[in-house]
Structures are given as C-alpha cells and as structure tokens.
Amino acid sequence: MNNPLLNPFSGANSSIPFDQIKLEHFKPAIEKAIHIAKEEVEKIKLNNDESSFSNTIEAFERGGELINSIAGIFFNLNSANTNSDMQVLAQDLSAMLTEHSNDIMLDEALFNKIKAAYNNSEKEILNTEQAYLREKIYKSFIRNGANLTESKKDELKLITNKLASIQLKFGENVLNDTNNFEILIDDIAQLDGLPASEIEAAKMLAEGKGHTDKWIVNLDFPSYLPFMKFAKDRNLRKKLYHAYGARGFNTNDFNNESILKEIAELRKTKANILGYKTYADFVLEERMAKSVDKIQSLWDELVEIAYPKALEEVAEVQSIADELEGPNPIKPWDFSYYSEILRNRKFNISDELLKPYFKLENVIDGAFQTAEKLFDIKFKAIDNIDKYHKEVLTYEVVNSKNEHIALFYADFFPRESKRGGAWMTSYRGQNKYDNKNQRPIISIVCNFTKPTTTAPSLLTFGEVTTLFHEFGHALHGILSDGYYESLSGTSVFWDFVELPSQLMENWCYEPECLNLFAKHYETSELIPLELIEKIKASMNFLSAYQTVRQVSLGQLDMAWHNIQEIPTMSVVDYEKESGAKTRIFESSSEVCTSTAFSHIFAGGYAAGYYSYKWAEVLEADAFELFQEKGIFNKEVAKRYRENILSKGGTANPSSLYLKFRGKEPDSKALLKKSGLLLQN
C-alpha cells in the first residue's frame, strides 16, 4: 500500500497530506513505524563500543521519530475531527503504542546501555542541553519501571495498558454525553433575555438538524454559556445546568463513575509499584512545585484572602436577585444570570456591548500583530497545504528576513466531531538534527461562537482571552530553538507550561494592544477608550469567587491523586467531602464534576490541575516587568523569547525564569493583579 503516513511531511512546505490520508492507513503505518523503532533500539543494544552520549542517549532520542509523527497526527485528529470508527481504532492503536512503549522502557539490556552512558558522564564534556537530555532519559527509564523485578514489570505493563484504554474511554464518554443532549424549543418566549444574535444561532442549530421555526440549545460553550447568562427562563437554565453537570454521570452507556475510580486506583497502584506513596508524589517529582505541601501552602494563602471576599461577592449577586424578586437563595443555575446583571450595572458593560468590536478575523489579526511587535514574526495566510477540515485556517510563520519559522493551523468552531474546550497541540516538533533546523507545525483548536446568517463570528471577551491564551501556547512551540525535539516547545514541566499562555492574556486588557484590532465589525470604529477602561475596571469582577473555584478544582484533583486508598463512597459524596472547605453553593447530588473532569482523567493534568494557579503567579510576576518597561518593549520581549519561549524544556524552568526575570517569582503579584491585595 502506498501509505502517505510513512513519509507524512513530504508535501509542500513540509505539511501533512491530510487529503491523502485515510483511516485505514493508520494501523499499517503504526505497525511499520514500530518495526523500524525496534530495529533502532536493537542497533543501540548491539553496539559493542563503550556506551556514550552520542551512541546511546542521542541515538535513543532520535529513535521512534516516525511513530511520534504518525501517532501525533492520529490522536490530534481524534480530538479535533473524530468519528465512531476513529474512536474504535484509537483504542486499538493506543494498546499497540502502549505495549511498544512498555517493551522499550522495560528492556533490561537497553536500560543497561542507558545507565552505562549516564554513569560515564565524567568522561564526556556535554553542553547544558545535552546534560539535561541525558538526565531526562535516564530518569524516564527509572520512572517507567526499568529497575523493577520482572514480576513487577509485568504488573506495571498491565496497568499502563489498561490506563491507556480507559482514559480514552473516559474522554469519549464525555464527548458522547455532550452530544447526546439538546433542548428543542418551539416557543420563542422561552428564549426571552437572549440577545438576537444568540437566538439566531439557536435557530441555525435547529435548522441544521432539520427543524423549522424551532431553536436548539446544547452543551457546547457558545450555546450553553450565553443561555446561562441571559435567559430569563429559570427552569430551562436549571435543566441545562444539570445536563452540563451530569456529563459522564447519567445512567447510560457513557457513565464515568466506575471508570474514574479505576483510573485513580490504577494510577495509585502504579505509583506504589514505582516506590511512591501516592500518584501525586510520583507526578510532582518532575514538577516545579515538588510537593503537595508547597501547593497546599499556595492554596492556603489564596483561600485565606479570597474565600471571605468570595462570599461577599455572592452576597452582592444575591442582592440583585432580591431586588428583582428572584430566588433566595440563588442556585448555581442562577449565578451567571444575576452576576451578568450586576456586572452590567457596576461597569455598564456586557458581552453584547463588546462583541461587535471582536470580530474573529480581527482578533486573530490582533494576536498576529502582537506577536509581530514583540518578536518580529509574521503570519501569512496560505491556501496551498491540505487541511483536515474545511473550517481550518492555515498560515506560514516567517521571521523579519521572510525565512520560514513554522506552519500554523487554527480551528475555531464547535462541531460534533470535536471535543469541547480549547487547546494547543503540535503535529511536528522542532529540532536541529543533521545540520538542519526542522521547524514545527503547530495548531490551536477552540470552540467559539459561529457566524450567523446576519453577522460574522463575534467573540465574547472571554473568547478573546481564550484565543490569546492558546496563541501563547502556540508561540511557545513556534519560537522553539533547541537541538533535541523531546526538549523543544511546550515539552516542559507541567506547572511551567501555562506561563506563556496565561501571560499572553494580559495583552487583551491593554489599550495599546486592543487598539490594534478591536474595531466595530460594521463601522470599523476603533473601540472607544471608555469601553477599554470598563474592560480594565471589570477585570477583577468576581475574582475572589473564581480564585476559590480554581483552587477547589485543584483540590478535587488532589483528592483523587494524593490518596493511598480509593474511597468506597460514591463519587458525588466524595466530591462533597473533599470540597467542603471551598464550597460556595450547597452541593447537589444531581451533578458531578469528576465524571467530566477530562483534564485529569483523560488529559495530562492528573495531580497537576494546580498548575493553572501556580503559573498565574509566574505570569503575574512576569507581566509586571512588561508593564514597568512597556508592553511591547523589545528588550523585555527578547529576554522572554531567549530565556523562556525558545528554550522549551532544555533546562530547569526555575533557572529559566530566573534568567528572564532576574528574581524569584512573588505570589503577591497575583494577589495584587486579582485585586485581592492592595497595590503599594
């Protein structure tokens, strides 16, 4: 078979030949790639020369390139453009890849070679990146069981195989439960309160499913969030809230309760086998935070200040509900509705007032202009490369000399084939092997408000910050400039990876940046200064509430991963118990966060959801320097690019941050930025 996946980057601009790739190509391509990878490993094992960095560590790093390419394409597509056949194949390929990974990482002869090269360190002079790679690869073998007895290795293999399968299943269940629910509305009065653009979007959803003169509201964010904010129909808000909160919790084929307990149990057992008390201990060994105690210390500092203020914020929202003769007490399905009214009153600002200034195409251009002003790179729209879906936008990134830097894909709208949320990913990493600088292929995937028949895609301000957030991740990949691919781009400690993304959000609040792109979609009028001032003033609206909520999610993550015994009580009861100290609203037995918590049960954030708050400390501290010197200051941007973005995971992130900032990060910067601590 002429399989395009066996040389997937041979097309124009070294892009991916999506148009040629068929589902049936993936399995034989993976089988072939595994065969090649095994030959590469055998070559290392059979080398009779003394084990060294070049013939062992570097050779291992270079091995498996084809597997990584093919698997990257497949699993990226499975997230962004999947179907039932692909989900079945995902289970099959995941099992094959996990088995291969186990075979490699638990190969005693290979590990002896790696260990010998590691122990020969005094005989070789290595640069910082080479030394870091050697340490990383040696540790990865240890952390994957290379020092275990054969019986323990066999046990670990069974666990990793099972985890790979059920983590995929967890994510599929969330997607299926999300797609499985919608409210078909035949009386427009039930949409009272919704802006005209949202009513039109709901009508388009219904028409797309063959319903005339009807409206559909579903659980995709562009449909769900506006309904919860604006719809007056409290019963429908409650119904939608419960549907969203019950994803993976319903009595159907997509229930995740037993699956998530099994995931937690398997992870705990894996950690125990490897010599750790809990899975959190295992994970945090390779994180900036290092220990749960350090994380808890940050949480305690934040909650001590934020929790009382969060209760005050909720009380203020309650006062609006009381004034309007609404419910007392308000429930979670009321909170967005009445808080939106409060926000409008306090700041005379709303999403509907701002959206005309945030046409998607203009916001994209604003992100590009921001990158150009900071880093002297340009994004050129191109149409000569394949796409995996017609809605995907494609760009070439070039430097000031018009030299190729990267390819960039952007996929912005929800569809049933795409999982919810927003993320950045890489189809190909950056390296400098064989005297060539292989440039990356980067993608961001979002679920934004779609265009309607009367208006283009107009983003809420929250969607604007989400785009800049994912674009910050993208820049981390695009500007990577290391030698080894496994250390390039976003291949960094998990509590460091959110620094570039969360830092980028800050530009959305600055007049100097907003004036680049925030123009009325009909009149091209620049966003008025008074609106910018209102955006800035409202930046910390409900910030204490949001802080407590983010901490509570981090604590829920640790409740599942920093334990030595899996709870026998129900998942929802365990949630109630673990979240008691940060609870704002009375808990409900009808909704469950854990069963749809894909970040920790299907993604890479297990024992790591704290990373968002940890990185917020870093970004608040970092942005203070930009504010001090100028948000487009070339000198600061150069220091940031050279010490953070280009370096990837080539050194310890604490040392990288110190080189950029010139000092250790200060948590008070976050408290001040959030309005929880008075500025000096």
Same domain, 26 and 127: yes
- Domain membership of residue 680 (yes or no) is no
- Domain membership of residue 213 (yes or no) is yes
- Domain membership of residue 239 (yes or no) is yes
Which residue in 502, 599, 613, 586 sits closest to 557, CA to CA? 599
Same domain, 98 and 47: yes
Q: Both tokens of residue 15?
A: 């892009």
456: pLDDT strictly greater than 70: yes
Give 558-602 as a 3 state SS string: HHHHCCCCCCCCCHHHHHHHHCHHHCCCCCCCCCCCHHHCHHHHC
Distance CA 630, CA 498 (A): 22
Domain holding 303: CATH number? 1.10.1370.10
Distance CA 402, CA 110 (A): 44
Instruction: Give the pLDDT of residue 634.
Output: 97
**Is 381 strand, coil or helix?**
strand
Confidence of residue 1 (pLDDT cuts 50, 70, 90): low
Same domain, 222 and 283: no
Distance CA 60, CA 72 (A): 19
Same domain, 117 and 217: no
Query: With pLDDT > 90 as the criterion, what percentage of the chain qualifies?
Result: 95
Same domain, 131 and 232: no
Catalytic machinery residues: 470
Instruction: Give the pLDDT of residue 680.
Output: 53
Instruction: Give the pLDDT of residue 426.
Output: 97
Range of the domain at 197: 181-245
Instruction: Give the pLDDT of residue 110.
Output: 98
Instruction: Give the pLDDT of residue 122.
Output: 80
Among 195, 210, 245, the domain boundary falls at 245
Mean pLDDT of 83-90: 96
Domain holding 54: CATH number? 1.20.1050.40
Query: With pLDDT > 70 as the criterion, what percentage of the chain qualifies?
Result: 99
- Domain membership of residue 570 (yes or no) is yes
Same domain, 23 and 127: yes
- Domain membership of residue 114 (yes or no) is yes
Over residues 481-529, the pLDDT tens digits come to 999 999 999 999 999 999 999 999 999 999 999 999 999 999 999 999 9
Same domain, 28 and 95: yes
Instruction: Give the pLDDT of residue 12.
Output: 42
Same domain, 319 and 230: no
Q: Are strands 182-185 and 215-218 parallel, antiparallel or unpaired?
A: antiparallel
Same domain, 224 and 317: no
Contact 180, 247 (CB under 8 A): no
Among 556, 581, 610, the domain boundary falls at 610
- Domain membership of residue 423 (yes or no) is no
Confidence of residue 667 (pLDDT cuts 50, 70, 90): confident
Mean pLDDT of 273-277: 98
CA dihedral for 501, 282, 263, 548, sign (positive or negative): negative
Same domain, 8 and 75: yes
Q: Domain count of the chain?
A: 3
Same domain, 53 and 137: yes
Distance CA 462, CA 478 (A): 24
301: pLDDT strictly greater than 60: yes
Contact 152, 273 (CB under 8 A): yes
Mean pLDDT of 438-458: 95
11: pLDDT strictly greater than 60: no
Q: Both tokens of residue 414?
A: 């929800």
Mean pLDDT of 309-330: 97
Confidence of residue 9 (pLDDT cuts 50, 70, 90): confident
Distance CA 16, CA 589 (A): 47
Among 147, 167, 195, the domain boundary falls at 147
Confidence of residue 679 (pLDDT cuts 50, 70, 90): low
Instruction: Give the pLDDT of residue 411.
Output: 98
Instruction: Give the pLDDT of residue 8.
Output: 83
Mean pLDDT of 126-150: 96
Q: Which residues of 478-496 are buried (b: 16+ CB within 10 A; e: fewer)?
A: bbbbbbbbbbbbbbbbbbb
Mean pLDDT of 252-269: 98
How big is the chain, counted in residues? 680
Instruction: Give the pLDDT of residue 163.
Output: 97
Instruction: Give the pLDDT of residue 678.
Output: 66
- Domain membership of residue 282 (yes or no) is yes
Same domain, 108 and 231: no
Instruction: Give the pLDDT of residue 503.
Output: 97
Instruction: Give the pLDDT of residue 333.
Output: 98
Over residues 622-665, the pLDDT tens digits come to 999 999 999 999 999 999 999 999 999 999 999 999 999 999 99
Q: What are the Cα distances from residue 234, in Å, to 80, 400, 678?
A: 33, 54, 37
Instruction: Give the pLDDT of residue 21.
Output: 96
Q: Both tokens of residue 213?
A: 């003169």
Phi, psi for 558 (deg, rounded to 5)? -70, -30
Mean pLDDT of 302-321: 97
* Cβ count within 10 A of residue 218: 23
- Domain membership of residue 509 (yes or no) is no
91: pLDDT strictly greater than 50: yes
Mean pLDDT of 253-279: 98
